[in-house]
Chains A and B, each alone.
Chain A
């Protein structure tokens, strides 16, 4: 209930700067996506994964630029959400009821171009009609970030699976890479126990995901995140559970 610290002028200045950065990143990401799609069409890629898309050396480089742009955009979103006010982690939370089909469609279409360019297949396994109440923008943000992360670790497959287990909804983002290094698994466990593990950028993503999970409360239960190795693809698994 105390007043906002810092000067209002500074706050307005920061807000407008962030607005500007977001615009630039949007344009950068959007332009890269459309260039990739055009190239794909020109080279007749996209008929299926596994075709040789590297006629043009710039294609994989652009794909990597898109990946980096996405990371920037994700990190900016997370920082904004966590430090909505200068130095105060608060964020307006807005739960809405959505069918999982709509949620997954939004996540998958956001990752589509990047995954195609990187020749990674996305498998989906979820009950599309199931309704769940959650903060849609936050959860989409967490899942897209987890998929982006998996792009770095995976060989050529990522799986997004959602299922309900005794009143909790479990989202799993799995890959067929080498799995998370032990330090990351520990970081996941530490975040789960409420320890801030902000040593690097992956720590930020994990911390943000954990904050988002905790914001979701229903009948006295809260959400959580954890990291595992194994699963059907025998790689790294990011797990988000929501009440």
Chain B
């Protein structure tokens, strides 16, 4: 296939990619006027006619809000205000970019955040200065082509139909060997999300036979971690870091492994190193702050939360957690005034029902830790009143935090109700039940607590069994209705949720598609995924649900091996469905 070109100019004409770059709308974002002119010149040379420019992140946001651009060339380093990464995040989070648009991040050097995927929102490509037209055109064409290849996969990913997306990866690998590595990487990620760690492991191992990819090695570590092999995972992550100190993801994983091994001090140390390497990530500074609080290192926690607030100021990813964390730090330093000010800011800037609850808990903890028991009690009473007026409950961790505080300040009924809610929704999670029992013991309610736990578990199990019984005896519609009611009572119980979704799907498989049931089943599954992502049964049910949707282009039926699915009763045994 060797082709010999001899050209006077020395530039072979690139393959015609079938993309007309002249009709597209371009935005150049750079704080340096000379660079903007240079880039505009380059774009004109490839035929571009519609080119807008912004000299700062704020200006870029204004333009992005007004117009959909096909191509954004954004410098990472924009001086004061938002940096390029923050502009990208906000544009993505606010949906100012259409899926087909291309975002090229320009930077003077390869930074850690850039190459190591430390950031959640990734640009389509990074280009290192100085930029030449040949590089620009090549990368634009490549990104465009890659977007075509990933189009169907991304769509299935957004639907959370991970198994179908993984199959599409295989199809594309056969067609486009140039994207094989990216496709295999995606496939492994999808298999992990679909709760198929063994299949993901095979993909990573195949990649590693060729070359040492950090992300593949770290992927194997994640699988080890998920299988409970914490020590082996730990060694893998340490190996990745020894090989490449910049692979930030490995630090986060290593910290998670250390946490699971109960080595909180070490975990905190690892997060601290990661935050030094990549200081501009809000979630990482937040985890560091929380880890430091857990081991009682107030100074480190303060530093992390302060950094969190500083970088969050220009970021769409500003979260309430940093304010609550910082308030705790102020409480520990006996600066109640500042803590209360932060809580006021949190409630003002983050409207949302649960923020009020969480702020109130934090307020109580601040008073309690600073020794002002009278005010702590008052916060507890207020929290109790708030809980009475609100039937919904936050996630398990917040419930446990609230119950702990309420017991500490001497309130009794509200925390008992909260803990029973936690048990009902996690009736087969032995570790959590132990934790709940310990909270009862500490509140000198050991025996009473044990009875409450048993009763709550029994209630959940009975609800489950009744639903399964209806279903087994062929009363499908009744079973579906029963499970609907069960979800009201036990909104976060994984078993109930899974069985409920399974029944809705089976009902449709037997009685035909129904839009309302479809929306209901989808809602249940999305809730499951938000509670505990990456479960095998979730992926299987999503796939079955997607296959039920009548498609206009009606592809050949994929064929479901087990259309009725399987149902688990409260004991966790598999039960064959009644036809």
Contacts and interface: CB of A to CB of B under 8 A. Distances in A.
A and B bound? yes
Interface of A: 1, 3-4, 8, 15-16, 18-19, 22-27, 29-31, 34, 46, 48-49, 73, 77, 80-81, 84, 90-99, 101-102, 104-112, 115-116, 121-131, 133, 137, 140, 163, 217-219
Given A18-B108, A102-B14, A108-B12, A27 B34 contact: yes
A92 B115 contact: yes
A8 B435 CA distance: 42
A218 B210 contact: yes
A102 B145 CA distance: 13
Given A19-B108, A97-B178, A106 B9 contact: no
A30 B34 CA distance: 10
Contacts of B244: 92-93
Contacts of B213: 95
A122 B130 contact: no
Residue among B5, B241, B279 having the largest count of chain A Cβ atoms under 10 Å: B5
13 contacts: A3-B276, A8-B276, A22-B108, A25-B130, A27-B34, A46-B8, A92-B110, A94-B110, A124-B5, A124-B6, A124-B7, A127-B3, A218-B211
B10 A122 contact: yes
Contacts of A97: 177-181
A130 B38 CA distance: 32
Contacts, number: 165
B10 A84 contact: no
A101 B4 CA distance: 11
B41 interface: yes
Contacts of B578: none
Interface in B106-160: 108-112, 114-116, 128-135, 138, 142
B10 A101 contact: no
A134 to B, nearest CB: 10
B41 A34 contact: yes
Given A22-B108, A104-B12, A130-B1, A1 B132 contact: no
A123 B138 contact: no
B561 interface: no
Contact of A121 (B10, B110, B273): B10
B508 interface: no
Given A48-B8, A109-B133, A110-B135, A30 B41 contact: yes
B276 A116 contact: no
Contacts of B210: 133, 218-219
Nearest to B131: A26
B15 interface: yes
B11 A30 contact: no
